[in-house]
Amino acid sequence: MAEKMGRAMSLSGAYRHFGQTDAGASSPLYESVAVAIADSPDALAVVEQAPPLKRHPTVILAALHDQVLRGNAPELAAAFAARDGAAAAVAAVDALVDLADDIVATATLRQTQTNETGRCAVLYPAIAEGARRVGASRVALIDVGCSAGLNLTLDRCAIHYDDGESLGDPDSLLQLHCARVGPNAVPATALAEVVARIGIDLNPVDVNDEDDARWLHACLWPDQPERTERLNAAIQLSSQTPPTLLQGDALARLPDALAMVPSDVLPVITTTWALAYFSLEDRLRFLRRLDEFAAQHPLVWVSAEGVDIAPAVPTMGDSRLAGHSLVGLAVLAGSRVQVEMVGRCHPHGRWLEWTS
């Protein structure tokens, strides 16, 4: 009994902490909902039915949001739409208890999954710069840990920096905005022609599948409509030039992806907030694979990862605790290996400081 209570209390503490600390600043709705769950023994009993690794608030709240998007929780939907935290708190606990079996089943089956296209604003200039340095006029994009592969259409979106500079297709249905920080302008180089779009993921998301697409939406927070709008536009854009998605471990599938690239095309490998999921050993192995391939054929690797995550990318003294991410650019061509940090950025691409 004491053990059960201890477990319940720590789960309650985790939901309260998530609500007040993680959600608090950016999602008042999830702050109210998470704190209400923390205070409800009935709701916590439902959460406890999920496997231990799936009891995290991000998974359970996404599974709850999924029920809203399916139309199964109209009161919670109304509270979300009205941005009414008090009503959402009550409706969320009711929905969690009433729809317990479905919510636990979804949480058990799914991983939280995002594909943040705001990151294109930090990827585009680094990729364009990499292709320029190699002198390539055609590139094949290979996104490792690609989720739904939505960032593989980065050449077809419009990117507006707040200093007035723009990149990409100004008429795109996906319009991205990014603040520019620091003294340097972002290079205005246009991206070389993209002739192939290939993604690798352990669990690729097929946006043409209704359940998969809804789950991507469910993993967004309900009071962040700009992310929902971006996701809708990105899905539409991606469906016009669908990427080839390879399912499996990055290290195992990278040779397959590289083999799909015509010999006169520069492969540009991207990793965005993906390498953190690899062991250190696998991150080093990943780098070795790139190096081995580059002995035969030039390649570019662009990374946007937390500080000290992408191997060989210098951190310039930045701390992991700072919360920002680093943009790395590696050009590997025969014996020439040049790895540089070219920028700092917000993890979702809200701002970019070009440092190169």
Ligand X SMILES: C[S@@+](CC[C@H](N)C(=O)[O-])C[C@H]1O[C@@H](n2cnc3c(N)ncnc32)[C@H](O)[C@@H]1O
Q: Which stretch binds ligand X (CB under 6 A): 1-9, 110-118, 156-164, 211-219?
A: 110-118
325 binds ligand X (CB under 6 A): no
Locate the DSSP E strands across the chain. 138-144, 158-161, 166-168, 175-181, 193-201, 244-247, 266-272, 299-306, 325-333, 336-345, 351-354
User: 247: how many CB neighbours lie within 10 A of its CB?
Assistant: 12
Could you say which of 43, 136, 200, 345 contacts ligand X (CB under 6 A)? 200
- Smallest gap from residue 155 Cβ to ligand X (A): 16
305 binds ligand X (CB under 6 A): no
* Distance of alpha carbon 277 from alpha carbon 309, whole angstroms: 10
Q: Which stretch binds ligand X (CB under 6 A): 161-169, 219-227, 266-274, 329-337?
A: 266-274
- Smallest gap from residue 346 Cβ to ligand X (A): 13
Which amino acid belongs to residue 335? S
124 binds ligand X (CB under 6 A): no
Q: Which stretch binds ligand X (CB under 6 A): 141-149, 226-234, 257-265, 310-318?
A: 141-149
- Smallest gap from residue 341 Cβ to ligand X (A): 18
197 binds ligand X (CB under 6 A): no
326 binds ligand X (CB under 6 A): no
203 binds ligand X (CB under 6 A): yes
CA distances, 81 to each of 229, 270, 298, 348 (Å): 15, 36, 50, 24
Helix (H/G/I), strand (E/B), else coil: 291? helix
301 binds ligand X (CB under 6 A): no
Is the Cβ–Cβ distance between 280 and 210 less than 8 Å?
A: no
With CA atoms as reference, report the closest residue to 201 among 144, 261, 285. 144
Tokens describing residue 164: 């007035």
Could you say which of 250, 300, 331, 332 contacts ligand X (CB under 6 A)? 250
Residues near ligand X, by CB under 6 A: 113-116, 119, 145-147, 200-203, 249-250, 272-274, 277-278
